[in-house]
Amino acid sequence: MIPGITISKSTLYVVIFWSNAPISSKNISWKLPATHRGKVAEHTDETFYRSLYRIRRVEEEIVRLYPSDRIKSPVHLSIGQESVSVGVCAALSTNDIVFGTYRGHALYLAKGGDLNSMMAELFGKRDGSARGKAGSMHLIDLGAGMMGTSAIVATTIPHAVGYALAIQMRRENRIVAVFFGDGASDEGVFHESMNFAALKKLPILFVCENNGYAIYSPVSDRMPADNFCERAESYRIPSTRVQSGKTTEIRDAAAHAAVAIRKGNGPQFLECLTARWRDHVGPDEDRIWNYRPDSELDDWIARDDVAATASRIDQARRSAIEAEVEREIADAIAFAEASPYPAMEELNEHVFR
């Protein structure tokens, strides 16, 4: 012990690290602040349907509004991919943290991001999640554990790892999930981040949303392997591949992984196959660019998990859920319309804090 230093929490951390003792949240008990004691909510077909339907309908409304030019923002829609965000977030609590990408509407909503703020942000209005400064590509809602998304592919992967490192250092009982595409998995930073996370046994779930394409470039044109799990395995990160696109299967895989992560066993990797039904960016149908076989998309559309989940719910309940969601969306659009544009002075605000 160095004389003259009183033990504060932070010096204690230093001592723990210096002592070279194995660090695992399992063998160190730390009293967590109340806000960090999250509980994972129970889910049923009805709660899944509400979430899936809500995301689908929000984005369909964006498609409807887009030609009016009120949304002057690139929009990368998740229509067809909703089950990944909904399934994984079902295994997380509010206090768990998610990092995502510019294709972030589904994740933002699934994690509990505020719909009014999102809609106002897309409209470039003052009540948006970033006061209109960010648009669709940089949604954020810290209250819901939704970290800001980035438009530079793969950049948030190491941030998620760093957040997980902080959680480990502070002995907090929560985890991070980071969502990224198949394209992001090409980047060097993805590999460097996975290696570090595995090395430090960090509490993080990697979620590769494999929709088969980076813009119009198929996975098979970008790598010789046919799956991403083997990349994770090469860093000794246990991995699971969910091919069906079913919310329940994704939730089960994520929940299983989350249990292991919460035990302090280090990172887990989830590859979820999915399909984007719309163009890479913008509201158009994806088919207009003729770069993929129609049958491929038809097959995914036939297995649409929003419709499949709906079919498992009693008709009256389903109508009630849909009516509630429609009201909420209409209100959010009205909220965005009514919100003013930011004042000119705001241009110079927030450069520094």
Partner 1 sequence: MSSADRELTYSEALHEAVRQEMSRNSDVFVFGLGVDDAKGMYGTTAGLHEEFGTERNFDTPLAEDAMTGVAIGAALAGMRPIHVHQRMDFLLLCMNQLINIAAKASYMYAGACHVPIVVRGIIGRSWGQGAQHSQALHSFFMHVPGIKVVAPTTPHDAKGCLIAAIRDDNPVIFMEHRMLYGNRGVVPENDYEVPFGQARILTSGNDVTIVGVSHMIVECLRAAHVLREAGVSAEVIDPVSLAPLDIDTIAASARKTKHLLVVDTSWTTCGTGSEILAQLVESLGEEGIPKMKRMGYAPTPCPTTRPLEDIYYPSGQTIAEAAHALVRGRDWTAPQIEAREISEFRGPF
Ligand X SMILES: Cc1ncc(C[n+]2csc(CCOP(=O)(O)OP(=O)(O)O)c2C)c(N)n1
Residues that bind ligand X in the complex, under the rule CB under 6 A: 103, 151-153, 181-184, 211, 213-215, 280
> Which listed range, 25-33, 80-88, 240-248, 341-349, lies at the site for partner 1 (CB under 8 A)?
341-349
Nearer to partner 1, 151 or 320 (CB): 151
291 binding partner (options Mg ion, partner 1, ligand X, none; Cβ < 5 to 8 Å by kind): partner 1
Nearer to partner 1, 279 or 304 (CB): 279
Interface with partner 1 (CB under 8 A), residue from 12, 41, 215, 301: 215
329: helix, coil or strand? Answer: helix
Bridge partners (DSSP) of residue 207 are 179, 270
Least distance from Mg ion to the Cβ atom of residue 82, Å: 15
Cα torsion at 84, 207, 205, 119 (round to 10°)?
-60
Distance CA 195, CA 89 (A): 24
**Tokens read off for 7:** 């033990």
Nearer to partner 1, 141 or 286 (CB): 286
Least distance from partner 1 to the Cβ atom of residue 24, Å: 34
> Which listed range, 82-90, 185-193, 205-213, 267-275, lies at the site for Mg ion (CB under 5 A)?
205-213
231 binding partner (options ligand X, partner 1, Mg ion, none; Cβ < 5 to 8 Å by kind): none
| CB burial string 332-342: b at 16+ within 10 A, e below | bbebbeebeeb
Least distance from Mg ion to the Cβ atom of residue 276, Å: 7
Distance CA 22, CA 125 (A): 49
Distance CA 321, CA 299 (A): 27
| CB burial string 267-286: b at 16+ within 10 A, e below | bbbbbbbbbbbbbbeebeeb
282 binding partner (options Mg ion, partner 1, ligand X, none; Cβ < 5 to 8 Å by kind): partner 1
Nearer to ligand X, 215 or 330 (CB): 215
| 351: contact with partner 1 by CB under 8 A | yes
**Which residue's beta carbon is nearest to the bound ligand X?**
181
Pairing of strands 176-181, 213-214: unpaired
**Tokens read off for 253:** 């895989």
Nearer to partner 1, 72 or 317 (CB): 72
103 binding partner (options ligand X, partner 1, Mg ion, none; Cβ < 5 to 8 Å by kind): ligand X
281: helix, coil or strand? Answer: coil
> Which listed range, 27-35, 132-140, 160-168, 249-257, lies at the site for partner 1 (CB under 8 A)?
132-140
| 211: contact with Mg ion by CB under 5 A | yes
Least distance from ligand X to the Cβ atom of residue 251, Å: 20
| 181: contact with Mg ion by CB under 5 A | yes
Helix (H) or strand (E) holding 87, with range, is helix 82-89
CB 99 within 8 A of CB 166: no
4: left (phi over 0), alpha (psi -120 to 50) or beta: left
Length of the chain: 353
Distance CA 260, CA 280 (A): 34
| 264: contact with partner 1 by CB under 8 A | no
Interface with partner 1 (CB under 8 A), residue from 249, 262, 335, 342: 342
CB 292 within 8 A of CB 220: no
**Tokens read off for 114:** 């505020």
| 194: contact with partner 1 by CB under 8 A | no
Least distance from ligand X to the Cβ atom of residue 33, Å: 35
Half-sphere exposure of 221 (CA within 13 A, CB side): 10
Which residues contact partner 1 by CB under 8 A?
66, 69, 72-75, 124-125, 128, 132-138, 150-154, 183-184, 186-188, 214-217, 221-223, 279, 281-284, 289-291, 341-342, 344, 346-348, 351
